[in-house]
Amino acid sequence: MKDRFKAKFNIRKGDNVVVISGDDKDVTKPRIVKQVLVEEKKVIVEGVNIITKHTKPSAQNTQGGIVKKEAPIQISNVMLWDAKAKAGTKVKRVRENGKTVRISKKSGEKI
């Protein structure tokens, strides 16, 4: 069944997040979001969920071999990092001058 409305997430590309569940759980180490996959409700986070992919030799990669890269994880497994509180935080959205601004619930700072 298709979603009627497009989901809105508080996490964007380039944000600092902490992984709150899974094999790479570490709530004290912020990491950077490389990509947000809205349709699949997943994110690709730098250094998290590393997979090894075996590649055949091709025109671009004449050597072939084993390539390590990040795989997507569920967006619910990450939380935005609040630098002031030095912890993960929930986010609320507030409209200011016709634009939506994300505000940390822990410290009250703009993100």
Task: Confirm whether 5 is domain-assigned.
Answer: no
- Cα separation of 97 and 94, whole Å? 10
- Decide: residue 80, CB within 10 A, 0-12 exposed, 13-18 middle, 19+ buried: buried
Quote the pTM value.
0.85
Domain count, the chain: 1
Look up residue 85 and give its DSSP letter. T
Is residue 1 one of the residues assigned to a domain?
no
Distance CA 91, CA 17 (A): 12
Q: Could you list the residue range(s) of the whole structural domain that residue 88 is in?
A: 16-55+65-104
CATH number at residue 39: 2.30.30.30
In-domain check, residue 10: no
- Report yes or no on 21 lying in a domain: yes
Domain annotation covers residue 110: no
Q: Write out pLDDT tens, residues 20-53.
A: 999 999 999 999 999 999 999 999 999 999 999 9
Q: Could you tell me the CA-to-CA distances from 95 to 6, 36, 66, 100 in Å, in that order?
A: 20, 23, 47, 4
